[in-house]
Amino acid sequence: MGDLKASGKAIGMSEKLFNKILVANRSEIAVRVMNGCRVLGIPSVAVYSEADVNSKHRLFADESVLIGPPPPSESYLDIGKIIEAARQTGCDAIHPGYGFLAENPALPRRCVQENITFIGPGAEAMELMGNKIVSRKKMEHAGVPIIPGMKSGETSLAAFKAAAEEAGYPVLIKAAAGGGGKGMRVVHAPNELPASLEAARREAKNAFGDETVYLEKYIPDPRHIEFQIIADNYGNCVHLFERECSIQRRHQKIIEETPSVALNDELRYRMGEDAIRVAQTAGYTNAGTVEFLFGENGSYYFLEMNTRLQVEHPITEFVTGVDLVVEQIRIAAGLPLSDYLKHLTQRGHAIECRIYAEDGENNFFPSTGKIIHYSEPVGPGIRVDSGVEAGSEITIDYDPIMAKLIVHAPDRPMAISKMIDALHNYKLLGVKTSRRFMVDVLQHPEFAAGHTYTSFIEKHMSDRITDQATYKEMAVAVASVAAMSTSTASVLFNEGTTSAPSPWQTLGSWEIGDSIHA
């Protein structure tokens, strides 16, 4: 035993990087960060709102501090309360997760004043990348490709003609105040330009009350491809390859994978080098993600940099074997990049499916309620990052992401079939999800062929329906047996129970009453 303990120390326990880390977030990402803290032997502190008294992240942490009422502005977004909680519990570092304060430079700035380490980039780099226009200009100067187009507010037809010639047809006219496709026009040839410009202005004026439009190169069938980078405080920066996140609904990713079928070694090398150039130009430290729009014939354009850990970071962890949270903590503690980060390869293929509280059969309409059954798939190469369990209440207060299902397999076809099986065996009742929708995406021949463009769902999934009647008899058969079984009967009698589940109980067992604990 003594020997085992000693060897444990030798692989990292001896150098405790921080006394205690406060995780300024909730749900699945808070739990994920606390896992990284555990690996390094560092105690973690959760903050929670009154809505999260029984939440998994609070009960998972070594300590927890109540920071206020449910509205985020009075709890998870209140920097003063976060700092106060860190002080009160003796934390010398704060990890922001993603969302909430993760990209607010006021938090790292305040941390510097308070002599607390912020586990993430410095405020300056965060601020620079937060300004999309300034950061794109700066990266263009550094030689990183950006979407060609107008850079000034010129309004004459001649200026638009010149800009279109320079960018090359087809071009896209976009409303400056824009969004939602309004005031947008694709122009394929010079003779279409005057009429399209007029129409786009009219539409923009009607939709946004502002007729200002600009022009940029139109990228048909784009993919969203991003690169994970990590940089230490001494100027060393590496990338951890790409993630393709083209499968999106409502401009929000739901399925991500790595490697991308669109990249070959040469493109991967060039984009990776450009991602590192972006990070170094910004003076970036810690983990971050450089997003590119990927067009035809291997063209790609810098979009923006996300100055935090990403929702989809687990697929990178699967193919590289790196624990990104652990590396973030090591870098924040002042260690140089670990040597193994400089010799990474991509091993196999990983896919992530996001499990949102939404109705995949009805326009992804948000779904709320109590989770009355929860069980996760297990097996080689299956990972679940979850912030919920049986008994969790999904309310309207917070982001609807409940969990992420991630699989790893030797190649893409095997990863796809493993994910389909994992989605079948991920069981969640009481709140609607898009699991069946994602199964249908994964089973689509165009997905198998790797034709994963950002228009995928709009193009291939808009006519899709699930014929529930196919399952009618099977559902009735199972419900008939369920109605007779003891555990279900006890649920009947426990109806309306509000007792809080403990994460230490077996998953999903809470609804079985004390009477049948044998």
Active site residues: 308
Cβ 339 to other proteins shortest distance, Å: 42
257 belongs to the binding site for other proteins (CB under 8 A): no
Q: Which of 462/470 has CB closer to other proteins? A: 470
**Interface with other proteins, residue 7, by CB under 8 A:** no
**Considering only residues 145, 429, 444, 460, which one is a binding residue for other proteins as defined by CB under 8 A?**
429
Contact segment (CB under 8 A) with other proteins among 45-53, 292-300, 360-368, 406-414 equals 360-368
Residue closer to other proteins (CB basis): 121 or 360: 360
3-state secondary structure of 458: helix
Q: Could you tell me the smallest distance in angstroms from the CB atom of residue 495 to other proteins?
A: 6
Closer residue to other proteins (CB): 299 or 425: 425
By CB under 8 A, what part of segment 450-489 binds other proteins? 466, 468-469, 471-485, 487-488
Verify binding: residue 357, other proteins, rule CB under 8 A.
yes
Structure tokens at 481: 């047996």
User: Quick one: 55 exposed, middle or buried, by C-beta within 10 A (0-12, 13-18, 19+)?
Assistant: buried
Residue 381 region by backbone torsions, left for phi larger than 0, else alpha for psi between -120 and 50, else beta: left
DSSP 323: -
Does 137 bind other proteins (CB under 8 A)? Our answer is no
**CA distances (Å), 64 to each of 71, 108, 249, 384, 486, in order?**
18, 21, 35, 23, 37
Minimum Å gap between C-beta 260 and other proteins is: 25
CA–CA separation, 378 and 507 (whole Å): 13
Cβ closest to other proteins, residue 303 vs residue 441: 441
Asked if 417 touches other proteins (CB under 8 A), the answer is no
| 117 near other proteins, judged by CB under 8 A | no
User: How far is 345 from 181, CA to CA, in rounded Å?
Assistant: 39
- Least Å from the CB of residue 99 to other proteins: 11
Give phi and psi for 270, each to the nearest 5: -65, -45
Binding mask 313-352 for other proteins (x = CB under 8 A): ----------------------------------------
* 432 counts as binding other proteins under rule CB under 8 A: yes
Interface with other proteins, residue 495, by CB under 8 A: yes
Please state, in angstroms and rounded to a whole number, the distance separating the CA atoms of residues 271 and 188: 28
Under DSSP, is residue 185 helix (H, G, I), strand (E, B) or coil? strand
Pairwise CA distance, residues 269 & 306, whole Å: 20
d(CA 249, CA 400): 14
Residue 387 Cβ vs other proteins, minimum distance, rounded to whole Å: 15
Smallest distance, Å, CB 431 to other proteins? 9
Question: Using CB under 8 A, which of the segments 6-14, 124-132, 233-241, 359-367 binds other proteins?
Answer: 359-367
Which of 190, 220, 366, 450 touches other proteins by CB under 8 A? 366
Helix (H, G, I), strand (E, B) or coil at 404: strand
Residue 55 token pair: 């939440």
Among candidates 368, 370, 418, 409, which has minimal Cα distance to 390?
A: 370
Round to whole Å and give the CA distance between 165 and 159: 10
Tell whether residue 72 is a contact of other proteins (CB under 8 A).
Answer: no
Question: Is there binding between residue 491 and other proteins (CB under 8 A)?
Answer: yes
Q: Does 88 bind other proteins (CB under 8 A)?
A: no
Q: Are 82 and 110 in contact (CB under 8 A)?
A: no
Pull the structure tokens for residue 374.
């929860």
Place of tokens 């529930």: 468
Q: Which of 104, 346, 375, 417 binds other proteins (CB under 8 A)?
A: 375
368 lies in the binding site for other proteins (CB under 8 A): yes
Widest Cα–Cα separation across the chain:
82
Applying CB under 8 A, the span of 222-230, 280-288, 317-325, 427-435 interacting with other proteins comes to 427-435
Task: Report whether 318 contacts 350 (CB < 8 A).
Answer: yes
CB-CB contact of 273 with 214 (8 Å): no
- Binding region for other proteins (CB under 8 A): 357, 365-368, 370, 372-373, 375, 395-396, 399-400, 423-430, 432-433, 435-436, 438-439, 466, 468-469, 471-485, 487-488, 491-492, 495-496, 506-509, 511-512
